[in-house]
Amino acid sequence: RLNRTVERIRQDFPILARTVHGKRLAYLDTAASAQKPEQVIEAMSRFQREEYANIHRGVYALSQAATDRFEAARGRVARFLNASSADEIVFTRNTTEAINVVAQSWARKNLKAGDEIVLTELEHHANIVPWQMIRAETGAVIKPIRIHDDGSLDLDHARSLIGPRTKLVAFAHVSNALGTVLPVRELVRLARAVDATVLIDGSQAVQHMAVDVQALDPDFYVFTGHKLYGPTGIGVLYGKGAVLNAMPPYQGGGDMIERVTFERTTFKPAPHRFEAGTPAITEAIGLAAAIDYVEQIGFDWIGPHEEELLTEATQALLAIDGLKLWGTSAQKASVLSFTLDGAHAHDVATILDQQGVAVRAGHHCAHPLMDRLGVAATSRASIGLYNDRADIDQLVAGITAVKRILKL
Ligand code: PMP
């Protein structure tokens, strides 16, 4: 068992020891991408140095061992999500690609004019734009569920929108811009009652809480490796076996076929039919190492640790004159989105950077949400398992410096 203290955990992340502009780094942008522990860096490096070969092809030992490692990574993801089989795990490049697979394969085949796709007002563009492309092709209709001013979902509106014409309900498990945790079970129940298919975007959830796809029961659950302390270039599409196997391939090529002639081609069953071409082998192994790492620390430690920092940071920010915090619903994870009266979000982030504090500024790939809130951009501090009190103190001191420099 690891010594689960944040001091100990920080030592696993080499980048946290560096300085930025001569200042201690307070990395508060984990919602955009998480830093990587030595265990992930080392697993990928060792594989590349000692075990690398292409997979699913070679009869030679190296290729077979690499294939085993890749397929073991798939199994690791399946256990992480409590999927009933590794065959329900499709590797993609990221969340964006996972949602596009569902749009281009499942939706294109199953939706027709007048069918309704229900989303929410707080979706990331990755869970909006693919559906607009499907709308343009099929004539399907998009209906967003409203949110309340505090960033929580308007469940009454959800109940009124989800009805007999609803074919798909697709929503974030946790909002990247506000941190709101959505009422997943209730939304799945509403969708099931009308036989709609469910997709959950878990990009901002899997790094903070244990996710059990059999308990939540969506048809699809997607996430991206780089926000889970793993590498970029690897993402996950979980789909129920029967649903995946009824879907046509998304891309064609090698590795996804059973037999090819110029007249016709037959495809492998899921997940392989959705993995055309050489996949991100090293990155899949890195993702498995990241999952090992996170589970070794355990959500029983990560959850309360992040919650404590979030509460502390929320209180500290609310005490700052002229600061507005966006997203204050009771069910919330790890994200502090804020604006300062009289300051542009980008100026705030730029001055914070001078203090060594890394936060994101902008629209967080959620234009419709920003429109709904009536704000052009926010600065966003987000918390990961390696953040500590000193990071929060540095953020608060940084904001004080911003106010002094901008004379607010
Ligand atoms: N959905 C949500 C909720 C996200 O936070 C993100 C990443 N910002 C994405 C989708 C897209 O992830 P990726 O860019 O890795 O595909």
Average pLDDT of the segment spanning 31-37: 98
Task: Report which ligand 1 atom has the smallest distance to the Cα of 98.
Answer: 16
Q: Is 126 in the pocket of ligand 1 (CB under 6 A)?
A: yes
pLDDT tens for 209-254 read 999 999 999 999 999 999 999 999 999 999 999 999 999 999 999 9
Q: How confident is the model at residue 141 (pLDDT cuts 50, 70, 90)?
A: very high
State the pLDDT at residue 161.
98
Q: Is 96 in the pocket of ligand 1 (CB under 6 A)?
A: yes
Q: Is 224 in the pocket of ligand 1 (CB under 6 A)?
A: yes
Task: Report which ligand 1 atom has the smallest distance to the Cα of 174.
Answer: 3
317-328 in b/e form (b: 16+ CB < 10 A) is beebeebebbbb
In the reported structure, the alpha carbon of residue 136 is separated from the centroid of ligand 1 by a whole-number distance in angstroms of 23
State the pLDDT at residue 3.
73
Q: Is 95 in the pocket of ligand 1 (CB under 6 A)?
A: yes
State the pLDDT at residue 57.
79
Which residue CA neighbors atom 5 of ligand 1 most closely?
A: 176
Q: How confident is the model at residue 72 (pLDDT cuts 50, 70, 90)?
A: very high
Average pLDDT of the segment spanning 353-369: 96
Indicate if 365 belongs to the active site.
yes
Mutate to test the pocket of ligand 1, among 33, 91, 96, 211 (most ligand atoms within 8 A of CB): 96
Average pLDDT of the segment spanning 172-183: 98
Average pLDDT of the segment spanning 49-73: 95
State the pLDDT at residue 2.
59
